[in-house]
A and B are shown apart, each in its own frame.
Chain A
Amino acid sequence: MKITPEDVKKVGLLARLEVGEDEVGPLTEHFNTILDYFGKMEELDLSDVDPFTVEDAEPLKLRKDEPVRWENRDAILDQSPSRQGDFIKVPRIGGDA
């Protein structure tokens, strides 16, 4: 199945990544080349493989779910492009805009 420029734009929207008119052509070509390459996997019979059981899995060591005080909280907030007091300001979410 061939990918079309419209498909690329649609995936771009899903990925929150605007695809410019100048980028659509090369990206479509790239997608079709790489998806053809992925087609190689078709020659494998994987019907009996359960991908989600791992025999030798190492157990995950989770930390206790308890809050930890972060000393330099301001250093994090200062990294935001638009800070207002102790909040991070973002453009309007609701409405027509």
Chain B
Amino acid sequence: MELFRLSATEVAFGVRDGRFSAEDVVRSCLSRIESKEPEIHAMLTVTAEAAIARARELDGRRSAGEDLGPLGGVPVILKDNMCTAGVKTTCASRILEEWVPPYDATVVRLLLKAGAVLLGKANMDEFAMGGSTENSAFGVTSNPWALDRVPGGSSGGSAAAVAAGYAPIALGSDTGGSIRQPASFCGVYGLKPTYGRTSRYGLVAFASSLDQIGPFARTAEDVALVMEVLGVHDPMDSTSQPVPPDDFSQALSARDLKGKRIGYLKEVAEYDYDDRMKNALSKAMKACEEAGAEMVEISLGTAIDHGLASYYILAPAEASSNLARFDGVRYGSSSKDPESLMELYLKTRKDGFGDEVKRRILTGTYVLSAGFYDAYYLKAQKVRKVIKQEFAKAFEKVDSIILPPSPTPAFKVGELIDDPIAMYMADVFTIPVNMAGLPGISINVGFSEEGLPLGVQFIAPRWGEKELLSTAAVMESRFGGAKIADGGDL
């Protein structure tokens, strides 16, 4: 059997029962990476030797009768913006090309404590800024379903890795849709948790009030398994909330959606977007109805019409502040032999950052600068407040909301790269969820005629991940779990 095809749950059970070893699983995944990576380029670092050593250690502990934890022997891949002690964390940027963190991010610590095996770090848009993984300083990742297309972004490497069978689980970060959109493009499950559910300690910050770490997987069960490990309070992150750990797996027992009210948006119905995504949405809405849900039309006018503009003020404003720490002094690359401190800053940052990061730092600095704060930043904060109120009102009427994760399926590499506004528009249906701090999940509901994955997104009130997982489990029973991309020459 090709062990790389197993889900995380199957791996954990199999290792626990001694049907195969953790080392067998890790070797199978590493060999899959080796054969597919030349075409896909989803990885920035593969920690093969350390992974095998770790798997052996786990196998030894199991033989000694020790319980390895809920993820015992499960291979995982991390987006390269999560700190890993002793393993490079580059954020896909030249400025951190050689940086090796001296500590683990909390999510990494939790995964390892639960018995997971780290296989390596995945490609991404530089500092998580982008929607296609074309903005990586180390090259583009290809979509495993169609190599001439993007995997989505900014967590494109993580999504592509799970779709290609590198590992059953990968972590991404979602600031404006960076888990849900690539999950849709690559045909896998991607959950953006409620803001405050997963710790951001050790996540290299892009926009701190919006960023949230979440999993990619090929089944709803695996999403639940990982969230039970990650969804705990972390005193190292003041925005991490002390909510009691949820029994997410229990939510998977839902067999239908009877008694559920699911909202669909008037604004989405009127929005001009790709027919393939419209069909996927209709198909999913029909499946919800057949499963007993009542579909209710709702309106989120400000979120859809103005969410994008306000996000592209607030996120760069926070980014310009967060990225001020990359100055060539304490860590990262540094300009050689500068004449003055100012020259050190200017040259280091000019050479170290890519175009999109520079654009966002400059936009952020501009909207925060004297004279423009009221016109842009303050106004955008007000829009964010209105969006939150709109969602609160909507959730008085419905249990969850269905909408597309993006206006199109995966687009071609290079297709939007010279048109930043068009690229930003790809986030129109995901951004409002971050603005309101809500949880959202993207799941695959099929493929287009040319074989491109098509996803739908469900969103719930704060702390409503169980609602999302119940819905995902019911949809999975109808549409099947996510598939591994094997097709064509792959």
B31 within 8 A of A: no
CA A76 – CA B331 in complex, angstroms? 8
Segment 316-367 of B: residues with Cβ below 8 Å from A: 320, 324, 327-334, 338-347, 349-350, 353, 358-359, 361-366
Indicate whether A88 sits within 8 Å of B235 (C-beta atoms), given known contacts A18-B349, A40-B306, A61-B240. Answer: no
Our pick among A17, A33, A49, A58 for the contact of B421 (Cβ within 8 Å) is A33
Chain B residues with CB under 8 A of A58: 196, 241
Docked-complex contact A97 and B339, CB < 8 angstroms: yes
Chain B positions within 8 Å of A, measured between CB atoms, are 99-100, 102, 196, 233, 235-236, 238-242, 302, 305-306, 309-310, 312-313, 320, 324, 327-334, 338-347, 349-350, 353, 358-359, 361-366, 369, 376, 378-386, 388, 392, 420-421, 462
Docked-complex contact B420 and A16, CB < 8 angstroms: no
Chain B residues with CB under 8 A of A90: 329, 341, 344
Chain B residues with CB under 8 A of A88: 329-330
Chain A residues with CB under 8 A of B386: 44, 46, 49
CA A81 – CA B329 in complex, angstroms? 7
Chain A residues with CB under 8 A of B347: 18
Indicate whether A81 sits within 8 Å of B328 (C-beta atoms), given known contacts A11-B369, A27-B359, A76-B102. Answer: yes
Docked-complex contact B242 and A61, CB < 8 angstroms: yes
Docked-complex contact A17 and B361, CB < 8 angstroms: yes
A-B contact pairs, 11 of them (CB 8 A): A17-B353, A17-B362, A30-B359, A37-B309, A41-B310, A49-B385, A51-B385, A52-B381, A80-B331, A81-B331, A82-B334
Docked-complex contact B334 and A34, CB < 8 angstroms: no
Docked-complex contact A17 and B350, CB < 8 angstroms: yes
CA A49 – CA B242 in complex, angstroms? 30
**A87 → chain B closest CB, angstroms:** 11
CA A90 – CA B340 in complex, angstroms? 9
**A43 → chain B closest CB, angstroms:** 8
Docked-complex contact A14 and B350, CB < 8 angstroms: no
Docked-complex contact B420 and A41, CB < 8 angstroms: no
A79 within 8 A of B: yes
Q: How many residues of A contact B (CB 8 A)?
A: 48
Chain A residues with CB under 8 A of B305: 40
**A9 → chain B closest CB, angstroms:** 10
Docked-complex contact A62 and B238, CB < 8 angstroms: yes
Chain B residues with CB under 8 A of A54: 385, 388
CA A61 – CA B240 in complex, angstroms? 8
CA A41 – CA B381 in complex, angstroms? 11
Docked-complex contact A63 and B235, CB < 8 angstroms: yes
Residue ID in chain B nearest A39 by CB atoms: B309
Indicate whether A44 sits within 8 Å of B99 (C-beta atoms), given known contacts A81-B329, A92-B340. Answer: no
**A1 → chain B closest CB, angstroms:** 9
Chain A residues with CB under 8 A of B381: 51-52
**B444 → chain A closest CB, angstroms:** 31
Our pick among A31, A76, A91 for the contact of B338 (Cβ within 8 Å) is A91
Chain A residues with CB under 8 A of B380: 41
CA A97 – CA B340 in complex, angstroms? 5
Residue ID in chain A nearest B328 by CB atoms: A81
**A55 → chain B closest CB, angstroms:** 8
CA A33 – CA B383 in complex, angstroms? 20
Docked-complex contact B340 and A46, CB < 8 angstroms: no
Our pick among A12, A15, A16, A41 for the contact of B309 (Cβ within 8 Å) is A41
Docked-complex contact A91 and B340, CB < 8 angstroms: yes
Of residues A16, A91, A92, which shows the largest number of chain B Cβ atoms within 10 Å of its Cβ? A16
Docked-complex contact B378 and A51, CB < 8 angstroms: yes
Other A-B pairs beyond A49-B385, A58-B241, 8, CB < 8 Å: A15-B349, A15-B364, A30-B359, A33-B421, A34-B420, A41-B306, A41-B310, A61-B240
**B17 → chain A closest CB, angstroms:** 38
Indicate whether A38 sits within 8 Å of B376 (C-beta atoms), given known contacts A15-B365, A58-B241, A90-B341. Answer: yes
A50 within 8 A of B: yes
Docked-complex contact A16 and B346, CB < 8 angstroms: yes
Docked-complex contact B346 and A18, CB < 8 angstroms: yes
CA A54 – CA B324 in complex, angstroms? 28
Docked-complex contact A38 and B309, CB < 8 angstroms: yes
Chain B residues with CB under 8 A of A56: 392, 462
